[in-house]
Structures are given as C-alpha cells and as structure tokens.
Amino acid sequence: MAKNINTRGLHPPKLADRFLQWYCHPSLLEEIQGDLYENFSKNVQILGLKKARWIYFLLVLKFLRPSNIRNTHPKFSIIMWRNYLKTALRSMVKQKGFTFMNILGLTIGLTTALMILLWIQDEVSYDHFHDNGANLYSMKRNVYRDGGQIGTTSSIPKPLEAELESNYPEIESADLFSWEENFVLTHENTSFRANGHYVGETFFRNFTFPFIAGNPETALIDRNSIVISDRMARRLFGPSWEQDGNVIGKVIQVGIETFRNMTLQGVYEDMPSNSSLNFEFAISDKLYLQENEWVENWGNNGFHMFIKTRPDVDINELNTKIKDIINNHIPDEKVELFAQAYLDHHLYSDYENGQVVGGRIEYVRIFSFVAIFIMLIAAINYMSMATARSSVRAKEVGIRKTIGARKSDLVSQFIGESTITTAISLILAILVSVLLLPTFNNLTNKAVRIDWGNPTVWLSLLGLLFVVGLFSGLYPAFFLSSSPINKILKGSKTSKSGFSNMRRGLVVLQFVLSTFLIIGTYTCYQQIQYIKNKNLGFNKENVVYFPLEGELIQKYETFKERALKHESILKMTACVDPPTAIVRGTSGVIWDGRDPSADIEMAVAITDYDYVETLKMELLAGRLHSKEYKLDSANLVINEAAARIMGMQDPVGENIRMWGREGKIIGMVQDFHFSTMYDPIEPLVIRLDNLRSGSIFARLSSEQMEEGIGFLEDIHKEMNPDFPFTYDFLDENYAASYTSENIVATLASYFAIIAILISCLGLFGLALFAAERRYKEISIRKVLGASIPNIMVLLSKEFLILVFIAILIAIPIAWYGTRIWLDDFAYRISLGVEIFIFSGLLTLGVALITVCFEAFRAALHNPVDALKSE
Amino acid sequence: MSNIGTLEETVLLLVMIHNGNAYGISIAEAYMEHTGKKISIPAIHTVLKRLEKKGFLKSEMSGATAERGGRRKRLFEITQGGYAVLQKVQESRSSLWSQVPKFNFK
C-alpha cells in the first residue's frame, strides 16, 4: 500500500496520519488521505521534507471538520446507566459477604489514607499562615571545619543585624531572635514559668501573630516591654481578662536572674499548632543587648536571626551577595552566610556538608508511601475478588454482549460499580476519620481537623474517589468484558481453581507490601528501644533537676549544704546544660602539641563540683574537681574522645589552656552521650565555674524519692520564695527528646497492622471463593477417603506458597529500606536475621490462620449436600 | 433552483474543464493557477462536497496511483443540473453586460 512512499524514506508524519485515521469518517478516509499523500509527495519535491511534513500536519488539522468526523455513538445514556446502577446494587446485595469484605477493606484503606493525608497536609501547611511568609528567611551559616567538613548552624553574630539592614536595600528588616529562655512571670501573687524569647522590634510586624490587645507595630520599642500569649494572660489575669479592663501597661515581673519590672505592651493569640515558633512571651532584645556587651563581637554567635526581604528579591542573588559578610570581619575562619526560606524551615532542617539533605520531609515521604501502599493493598482486594467472581457475572456479560453492548459499555459499567463501592467506603471512611481524629491528634500532638469549607478538601476527596474507583475497577472491567461470548454462554469455565496468574501476582504484591511494613515497623521499634535502654555512660535514673535562679544563685552553696543533710538526697551538682544535651562548644581549647591552625570544636560542660559523682559517670584516670585543691577552676576533666583527638594515651597531668587560663588535665571520664544518637560522641571538656544560670541536679535514693523532692521543695520555698519550685526527672526528659521517633514508630505499627489486616481480608475472600468453587471436588475427595487435614492442605497450599514467595521478595527490599533509615543514627542496632525471620513468620502465621479457617470450614462440610443435586 | 457563489462557480467551471481528472488536488492546483490565490485542500474538499450535495456534481472513486499510497481519487463530473446552473449564471451576466452603456475612462 504505502510502500512506494516508505521505500523512498519520505513518509508523512505518522502521528498526524494516525490522528487522521482516528477521527476521519471511514467513507471519506481514502480520498482525503490519498489527496494528502499526493500533495505531500509534491511538496517534498518543491519545499523539502521538513516543510512538507509540517504542511501535512496542518492540513490534517484543517480537515478536522464536523462533516469529516466519524459517527459517534451516544456515549452517555441515562437509561443504560440506570440499568447499570440497578444491576450493580443487585449484585452487591446478592453477594453480601463479598460486598461486606470489599467495603470493609476499602473503608479501612481509605480511612488510613485520609488520616495520612491530613497529617501530611498539616506538616506541609506549617508556617504558611504568615502574610509575609514568602519573604521571610532565617539566616544560617556554613562553617568550614578542618578535615573538609561543613557544619550548618542558625546561630549568627549580633552585629550582622545592622550590617544587613543598612547595606542591603533588598532586606526590609532583620530581627534578632534569642535562644529559648525559661523565665518565671509574676503578676501580683500569681507566678508561672514559661518559655519565651528576646526578639527584635519588628518581629511582630513581619510575622503574623495577631494581637488581641496592644499594637504589634510598636509593642517592643521600649526596652522594658513584654508581650505575652493569650494563654499566659489567662493564667496571670484570669480567664476573663479581656472583659476585666485594660491590661496594657500593667507591670509583670520577670525572673531574669532577679525579678525585673516589665510593662505589658500586648497580648497575642495563642500560636497555632502548625507554627514552628511557639512561645508564651517575648521581651525586647534591647534589654539583653544592653546588659551583654560581648554580643557586639563578630566572633560571638549568640542569636538566631530572621529577615524580611522585599517581595521581588531573588534569594539566590542575595545569597551570593551576603555570602562573605561574616568572613570579612573575622578573616581567619571560613564562614559562609546564607538565608533559608522560612517556609522551608520546618520540613528541610537537616544539613550535611552545607547542603539541605532533608528533615521532616523524610517522614512526609515515608508516610506518603505508606498511604499509597495501603490503598494499593485495598484496591487489589477489590480487583482479585471481582475477577474471582467473574463466573457469577459472566452470564450477564454474555447477554449484554449478545444484545449489542460494546466492550467500552461493559468497561464503563464495571468501573462504575467499583466507583459506587468506593463511594460507599469513602463516606464510611470519612465518618470513621472524624471519630478517630481526637485520638489521632492526641497521638501525634497535632490539632488536625477537616476544613469542610475548603474546596481543596472536596477536590482531594473526589480525586481519591476517582483514582481508587478507577484503579480498582480497571482490571476487573477489562477482564470481565473481554471473555468471548460463546464460551461464557456455553458455560465453560476458564480455570478450575479460578486462580489466574494475574491474581496470583496481586496476592504476592499485597503480601510483599505488608511484610515490608512489618519489617520496617519492627526495626523502628527495636531501634527506639535500643536508644531508650542504651547505657548513656551516666545514670539518668532517680535524678531530678530544677532551675538555678533568683536568690538560689547567691545562696547555692548553703542550699546544697542543707539539702545534702537529708538522708534521701545523695548527691547534688549544678551545670549550665543538662548532661543529655550539652550544646555549648568552643574552639578555644589549646594543649601542648596542638596544630595552631586547626579549628577543633569541643563541647563544654560548665559545672559545679560533684558533677561526675552525681551523674555517676565513670572516672577512668586521674581525679575530679575538688575543693581540696586551690585554683581548680583552671583545670579540666576531659572525655575519651577528647583524649583521642589530642592524641594522648595518658592525658592526665598534661598542660591545657582554655579561654586564656592555664591549667592541667586532671582526669579523664568515660565517653557519655551528651547529644542525640544521630551524632557520634564528640570531644568534651568539663570545666568548673561559678554558675549564674542553668539547673541544679540532685540524685535521690530510689526508696525515698518523694521525701527527697518534698524536702527540696521546702527549702526552695524558704530560700527562694519568689520562684515556684518546678522540677523534672532526667530520664523523662531524655525519653521526651525522642518523642517524634516514638510517634512515628507508633503510627508505623498501626499502619503495619492495618496492611496485614486488609491483605488477610483479601486472602480470606479468595480462599472462600476457591473453596466454594471446589465444593464438589472436595466432596468427592471426602467420599473417596480424604481426611480433613488432607483437604486443608489441598486448599491452603497454593495460598501459602504465594505468601512465602512474597516474604522472600520483601526481605531484601525491606533490608535495603531500613538500612537507609538506620544509617541516620550514629548508634544503631545491627539488622539481625531474627528481625526478618520474626516478621516472615508473623506474616506467614497470620496468613495461615486466615486460610486454614476457611479451609477447615470447607473440609467439614457434609459431602452429601454438595453432591445430591446432580 | 439553488443559488451559487463565486467560489462554487469557479470550482464548477474548473471541474468541467478538467473533465476526467477532476479531484481535490487537481482542482486546487487549477484554482491557484487560474486565480493566483491560494486555497487549501480541505477547503476545496468542502466546496466539492457541497456542490455534490446540491446535485451539481457527481463522483466516483477510481485512479489509484503510487504517489497516493495506492489510494483512489474521488473523481468529479458535472451533472446536467450543474451545467444548467452555470449556463444560467453566464446568461444573466451576459444580459447584464449587454445593457451596460459604453464608458470612456480618462
């Protein structure tokens, strides 16, 4: 036919040709295509191939006129659809068991997917409520360490504020933002402890935290100003403070070392739960700056900073401009300044070598996968059950075909059915989700709710409906509509077990996903147990701690003396950072033989006497700080990691200099975990100092905890009456620092249970069906002498082989997946064989119970019932 | 009797002239040659189809060639009605022309 043109290698564009063949009326196709070919071959000679092809394409489009288009069959007929709906409902009612299992499976799946969607939506919506959100940035710096490592931190030097504001017109304003402070706020006779920050003057102008009272523009101009949250206002002034008259201008005493009078200039609404900033009060940064001149130094990084840019600023350009600002002031270090979008702050907070590598976005990704997995498992259930039952619907299909239904009619009928089932399940799932939301919020520490006024919610629900409906209906639709009519109507069955390869594949896929989730959850759980129970290198049990503040700062020695007289209080110390989270560091430790150009950071524990003793760390060599030695505060105790980095086998007695003071290394303690398990133990020095802030730690005897705490409270009340006595347990504080890992592990375990549950539901349906189809076979076997176990093996063998294959496939995938997660931890469990064996056996066991239950029932049937009818 | 437009009249005349080889492409080419104006093949097809529907043309499929990929042409032929309508147009135009007085443009 088209040989001549093809042999010359000059043929019209295939795509256009196919399009023409698709739309053109068959009776017109020959002449139109003929004319087009002829025209094309002429054009090739005159205008060249490229242009000819282009003209061909245009002409095909120009031929697209109503008169040339093939007849279209009416696509949508109300009467037919009414009939489809009727048959769909009838077949659902007729097979109540299957309908129930389908709807149950889909409801559980959709509920899980909805919950996960809500969780993801909440995570993604973090901080998006700020009107200026897109123009807010958080300043960060990359610090180039020796050995090529790059550390990323959001601590920046204070003088940067003025520099950015005056020299960079792209930046509208910059605000300092202090580390979190924990102060006591007192009004008249009510006192409460709360977390807050020193913030810059324009902070509340740039960030949208609406004020209930006061003016956000001017609230923090005066250096003795304070603004508090609604929650704090209710505590201090009573729940009806808004009605009780003006609170602006009232004096609040804030316990910063000693009490100071500050003027209340505003009350802001409680910060929403999807805000990454969440604090109860804010004080003007001017107060802090006035009293801490050291912050004026470019080498001291004492603050966070947020900036607001003009709306049209290209942040990459700005980042190139500001890159070297800090370096220009302190040339001997290599530091790179940059701004991270504030909206990215929540999800992308992990940096490695100066590049964003992730953060909570990883959990968002993991849970998205889980949602897809579970939906997939639920949809597969529908598919395999619908196709397994195909023989039941086969007669209907045959008759419809005989009467004149085309394949596309049947396909849309069956997809319609799956959509109806999905719609019913979706409605149920929404109801269940609404009921579960409070529990879910409790579990995840969120305030997620379904916002029915939001059109995206409706669109996503509709989207979910169509995707799931279409996906689960597609395969059954094609499967059912493509069997030849004569075979269906003659009543010949396709296969004896009703078990096609496709269905086998689907079962395997379901169990691969379930096993994967089980292994993942189990690993996650083990790792968290490992963290919780890991020997930290000190004893965190039976230790209470409370803030060192107010008069306690002066009277600490007396307080300690009095406390230790009580038999229940065994040891007492004080330190700036809790031993579970030592954040202070310095590069200013010098020892004999240190390479002077090397930049080596060491963590610093600033402590009182008895630090190591109270926390029961292990002294490996030398001695500890003691009052028997004069001038001991210049001497340091180091940890093993520090000794390693100094390259000393026996560090005790070596000279050491820190912050300008000459001293000796007097002792070495065993390495202990003072940071998270994500990081290896860093070098650390323990330094003796007079503390002006921090916490007091007391070790109590385990039998007399309550007496001990009671006694501490008594003397605290007596010696530091202005401050309430609030204490925490060190072990609880440690556990709380892994809250988000805990939540993830709990959620993951629920999801794994749900996945295996839905998979087994599907398996159960298939087993039920297989047993029904082989009813007569079973009966004859029984008559011929098969025992009940024989028949159970017969019925369950095939399923269990599939599950076994699935486990074999899932193990390497899960091994790989969990390795990636575990690699984040510096201290982690090793993936033992037992995890895989345990998970595999669990999956197999649950599947075995499911299948055997049905097989047992089938095997118990009286053969007469099945055989008498023929 | 239906009316007939200028384009239709020209195409009808061209079909008559190319009797025996009047199909989409040949008419389109002849039209361009005669008037100097461009016309697309789909437009010619539409005109031819419309004329056939009005009964001025009849057609049959024949004359497959290699450059058409072996596809046949739809060859058009004028009908009696078509001829009559052309004649009528021509007569009415001649009669009008005969009434035009002599002009002398400067």
Contact list in A for residue B41 (CB cut-off 8 A) is 35-36, 39, 59, 62
| Among candidates A37, A63, A65 on the partner chain, residue whose Cβ is nearest the Cβ of B71 | A37
pLDDT for the residue A485 = 67
Pairing of strands A190-199, A281-284: parallel
CA A468 vs. chain centroid, Å, equals: 24
CA A171 vs. chain centroid, Å, equals: 32
**What mean pLDDT comes out for the span A681-695?**
87
CA distance A212 to A241: 11
Pairing of strands A225-229, A258-268: parallel
What does the longest C-alpha to C-alpha distance in chain A come to?
112
Three-point CA angle A162, A163, A168, nearest 5° = 115
CA A299 vs. chain centroid, Å, equals: 36
Residue B68 pLDDT class (50, 70, 90 cuts): confident
Domain ranges of chain B: 6-92
Question: Which has the minimum average pLDDT: A375-384, A559-568, B22-31?
Answer: A375-384
Tens digits of residue pLDDT in A485-515: 666 666 555 544 445 777 788 889 888 988 8
What percent of chain A is helix, strand and coil (3-state, nearest 5)? 55, 15, 30
pLDDT for the residue A851 = 85
Number of neighbours of residue A102 by Cβ within 10 angstroms: 26
Q: Is A152 helix (H, G, I), strand (E, B) or coil?
A: strand
Domain ranges of chain A: 3-68, 133-345, 363-530+739-867, 543-733
**What mean pLDDT comes out for the span A253-268?**
88
CA distance A688 to A607: 5
Decide if B42 and A63 are in contact by the 8 Å CB cutoff: yes
Residue A711 pLDDT class (50, 70, 90 cuts): very high
Q: CA of A44, closest CA in chain B: separation in Å?
A: 12
Retrieve residue A806's tokens.
Answer: 């699935």
Provide CB contacts within 8 A for A663, sequence distance 6+. A634, A635, A636, A655, A656, A657
**What mean pLDDT comes out for the span A802-815?**
91
Instruction: Compare all CA atoms of chain A with the CA of B26 and give the residue at the minimum distance.
Output: A35
Tens digits of residue pLDDT in A630-661: 778 888 999 999 888 888 888 888 888 887 78
pLDDT for the residue A495 = 47
Tens digits of residue pLDDT in A743-759: 888 888 888 888 888 88
CA distance A255 to B95: 115
pTM over 0.80: no
Q: CA of B92, closest CA in chain A: separation in Å?
A: 33
Retrieve residue A142's tokens.
Answer: 């990359």
Q: CA of B24, closest CA in chain A: separation in Å?
A: 7
CB A20 within 8 A of CB A28: no
Q: CA of A70, closest CA in chain B: separation in Å?
A: 16
A357 Rama sector, left if φ>0, alpha if ψ -120 to 50, beta otherwise? alpha
CA distance B58 to B49: 9
The CATH number corresponding to B6-92 among 1.10.10.10, 3.30.70.20, 3.30.565.40, 3.30.420.480 equals: 1.10.10.10
Per-residue pLDDT for A3 more than 80?
Answer: no
Task: Please give the residue that has the higher pLDDT: either A541 or A146.
Answer: A541
Query: DSSP string covering A722-769, please?
Result: TS----EEHHHHHHHTTHHHHHHHHHHHHHHHHHHHHHHHHHHHHHHH
Retrieve residue B95's tokens.
Answer: 């009669």
How many residues can be counted in chain A?
870
Provide CB contacts within 8 A for A293, sequence distance 6+. none
> No. of H helices and E strands in chain A?
28, 26
pLDDT for the residue A4 = 43
Q: Is A654 helix (H, G, I), strand (E, B) or coil?
A: coil
Instruction: Compare all CA atoms of chain B with the CA of A12 and give the residue at the minimum distance.
Output: B69
CA distance A387 to A385: 6
Provide CB contacts within 8 A for B50, sequence distance 6+. B8
CA distance A333 to A555: 41
- Backbone CA torsion sign across A115, A120, A126, A130: negative
Contact list in A for residue B45 (CB cut-off 8 A) is 31-32, 35, 63
CB A600 within 8 A of CB A146: yes
Q: Which of residues 4-43 of A touch B (CB under 8 A)?
A: 4-5, 30-39, 41-42
Q: What ipTM, to 2 d.p.? A: 0.89
Q: What are phi and psi of A868, to 5 degrees?
A: -65, -25
Q: What are phi and psi of A79, to 5 degrees?
A: -60, -45
CA distance A392 to A382: 15
